[in-house]
């Protein structure tokens, strides 16, 4: 099973999850630094203060990537490391220096940097002063920060991702309160989501107007989506699944590819969903050079019109109730340690659905992976389940490509075991094991499997 020539094989991480050095060399605090201080918000009250200490160990980490044959590395820049108070007047040269060194080191090892500008670590000052993603100035402040990154790194960085997972920021951060900044509301997610889209649009506009033609790079957004399979063939369940995808992915992809929010959201949310006016439409339409997708799992969707589903897995925070969709899984599906079902055909179906709905855009899977309770024994981590996960999902990707989907690359989540947000260090997603006491890195069996796949640009039959 050979992948297309030039298919990009990468691995992904994010700043807060691996860097540590949370207040080192002038970095300002982020909303995640603060959120972790609230007892009970994160498993074992852990935090990203040290994490993988990648800030200090990045050179050896890049070497390890090189040994595995990783071609592209997706990492994020910490906004409060660049602007400690969130604004351009606070520029922190040490932050610029750090990312310069990381980027140079990657290029010396022939690894292509893919840079995410926002992976959830908003400068804390902007939460206080601007109400975070609810504030009317936040999109302009983000565009200032993005411009600073284009200016300093754009001579070498040719792949930019503005925002990681607008859905997670909005729903988990402003709806359910389980991620920073911990707000609980059934209207704020839609305002936050709107401002995130504006931030993306304004950053892309800056890039296109001032940098893109000189720097010859690409810029886009990465959104996440699980697949939603109709629970039965009944038309109402099919509609429920379509509605669930509207509220998950089309919420952010329709404005970019079609110029407006999906009809199902507009009609159900009324004035909780800010309208997209002509100016915003022009800003957003066509504002992504590629379709970035993070994908993890699949659930069944059934119509739940008129039912009380507030205790549903995604209940509270406006999601399931607004959609009137009940979610479930098949008891036969195997589960990762996040309790997410392993359903490779869901990945294929989602890729085909995106391709059809958005007119066959170039797609990059910017995250896909799984957590398991890995054990290190005699210096070896034999993570058979993760190997199987990657094999089966990559097979799904290959089938999607064979059916005409323009999938151009794949980034494993994650390069390292790291700080898994509200789950702390309990959930291990890495292809490289990290001993958080000693900072020793050990590539797992899945890293060797991935390395083989990259080298041969093909998947062994399973």
The residues annotated with a catalytic role in the active site are 165, 367
CB neighbours of 457 closer than 8 A, spacing ≥ 6? 2, 3, 5, 7, 9
Contact between 420 and ligand GAL per CB under 6 A: yes
SS3 377: strand
Distances from the Cα of 343 to the Cα of 12, 223, 335, 336, 405, angstroms = 21, 19, 9, 11, 19
How many Cβ atoms from other residues are within 10 Å of residue 290's Cβ?
20
Output the smallest distance, CB 88 to ligand GAL, in A. Answer: 26
CB neighbours of 122 closer than 8 A, spacing ≥ 6? 30, 31, 79, 80, 86, 132, 133, 180, 181
Rank residues 260 and 426 by Cβ distance to ligand GAL and give the closer one.
426
Contact between 162 and ligand GAL per CB under 6 A: no
Q: Work out which of 300, 429, 449, 450 binds ligand GAL, going by CB under 6 A.
A: 429
Rank residues 17 and 298 by Cβ distance to ligand GAL and give the closer one.
17
- Using CB under 6 A, which residues numbered 332 to 361 contact ligand GAL? none
Q: Work out which of 7, 10, 14, 81 binds ligand GAL, going by CB under 6 A.
A: 14
Output the smallest distance, CB 307 to ligand GAL, in A. Answer: 28
Output the smallest distance, CB 336 to ligand GAL, in A. Answer: 10
SS3 75: strand
Output the smallest distance, CB 435 to ligand GAL, in A. Answer: 20
- Using CB under 6 A, which residues numbered 249 to 288 contact ligand GAL? none
Stretch that binds ligand GAL, among 162-170, 299-307, 327-335, 445-453 (CB under 6 A): 162-170
By rule CB under 6 A, what string of x and - marks binding of each residue 365-404 to ligand GAL?
--x-------------------------------------
Is 87 within 8 Å of 141 (Cβ atoms)?
yes
CB neighbours of 157 closer than 8 A, spacing ≥ 6? 103, 113, 115, 149, 217
When computed from its CA atoms, the radius of gyration of the chain, rounded to whole angstroms, is: 21
DSSP-assigned states of every residue in 194-215: HHHHHHHHHHHHHIIIIIHHHH
How many Cβ atoms from other residues are within 10 Å of residue 88's Cβ?
13
Output the smallest distance, CB 372 to ligand GAL, in A. Answer: 13
- Using CB under 6 A, which residues numbered 167 to 186 contact ligand GAL? 168
Q: Work out which of 46, 121, 130, 165 binds ligand GAL, going by CB under 6 A.
A: 165
Contact between 294 and ligand GAL per CB under 6 A: yes
Stretch that binds ligand GAL, among 198-206, 344-352, 399-407, 413-421 (CB under 6 A): 413-421
Beta bridge partners of 230: 301
SS3 363: strand
Rank residues 429 and 450 by Cβ distance to ligand GAL and give the closer one.
429
Is 69 within 8 Å of 38 (Cβ atoms)?
no
Q: Work out which of 162, 223, 224, 336 binds ligand GAL, going by CB under 6 A.
A: 224
Rank residues 367 and 383 by Cβ distance to ligand GAL and give the closer one.
367
Separation of alpha carbons 398 and 392, rounded Å:
10
Question: What does the binding site for ligand GAL look like in residue numbers (CB under 6 A)?
Answer: 14, 17, 164-165, 168, 224, 294, 367, 413, 420-421, 429
């Amino acid at each position: 099973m050979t992948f297309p020539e030039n298919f990009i094989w990468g691995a992904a991480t994010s700043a807060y999850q691996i860097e540590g050095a949370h207040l080192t060399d002038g970095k300002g605090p982020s909303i995640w630094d603060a959120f972790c201080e609230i007892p009970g918000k994160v498993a074992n009250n852990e935090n990203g203060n040290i994490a993988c200490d990648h800030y200090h160990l990045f050179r050896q980490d890049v070497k390890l990537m090189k040994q595995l044959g990783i071609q592209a590395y997706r990492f994020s820049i910490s906004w409060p490391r660049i602007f400690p108070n969130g604004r351009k007047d606070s520029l922190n040269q040490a932050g610029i220096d750090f990312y310069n060194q990381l980027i140079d080191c990657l290029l010396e090892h022939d690894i292509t940097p893919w840079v995410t500008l926002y992976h959830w670590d908003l400068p804390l000052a902007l939460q206080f002063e601007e109400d975070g993603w609810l504030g009317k100035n936040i999109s302009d402040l983000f565009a200032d920060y993005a411009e600073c990154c284009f200016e300093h790194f754009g001579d070498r960085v040719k792949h930019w991702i503005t925002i990681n997972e607008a859905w997670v920021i909005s729903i988990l951060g402003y709806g359910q309160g389980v991620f920073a900044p911990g707000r609980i509301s059934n209207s704020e997610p839609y305002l936050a989501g709107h401002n995130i889209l504006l931030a993306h649009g304004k950053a892309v506009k800056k890039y296109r107007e001032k940098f893109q033609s000189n720097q010859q790079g690409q810029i886009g957004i990465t959104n996440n989506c699980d697949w939603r399979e109709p629970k039965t063939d009944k038309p109402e369940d099919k509609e429920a699944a379509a509605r669930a995808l509207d509220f998950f992915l089309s919420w952010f992809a329709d404005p970019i590819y079609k110029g407006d929010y999906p009809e199902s959201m507009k009609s159900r949310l009324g004035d909780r969903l800010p309208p997209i006016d002509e100016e915003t439409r022009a800003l957003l339409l066509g504002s992504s050079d590629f379709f970035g997708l993070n994908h993890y799992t699949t659930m069944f969707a059934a119509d739940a019109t008129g039912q009380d589903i507030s205790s549903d897995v995604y209940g509270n925070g406006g999601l399931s109730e607004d959609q009137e969709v009940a979610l479930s899984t098949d008891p036969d599906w195997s589960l990762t340690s996040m309790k997410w079902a392993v359903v490779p055909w869901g990945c294929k179906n989602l890729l085909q659905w995106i391709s059809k709905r958005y007119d066959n855009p170039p797609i990059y899977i910017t995250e896909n992976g799984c957590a398991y309770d890995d054990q290190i024994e005699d210096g070896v981590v034999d993570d058979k389940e993760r190997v199987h996960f990657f094999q089966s999902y990559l097979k799904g990707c290959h089938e999607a490509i064979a059916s005409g989907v323009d999938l151009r690359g794949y980034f494993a989540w994650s390069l390292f075991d790291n700080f898994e947000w509200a789950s702390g260090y309990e959930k291990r997603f890495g292809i490289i094991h990290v001993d958080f006491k000693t900072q020793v890195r050990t590539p797992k069996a899945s890293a060797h499997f991935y390395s083989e796949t990259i080298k041969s640009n093909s998947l062994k039959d399973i």
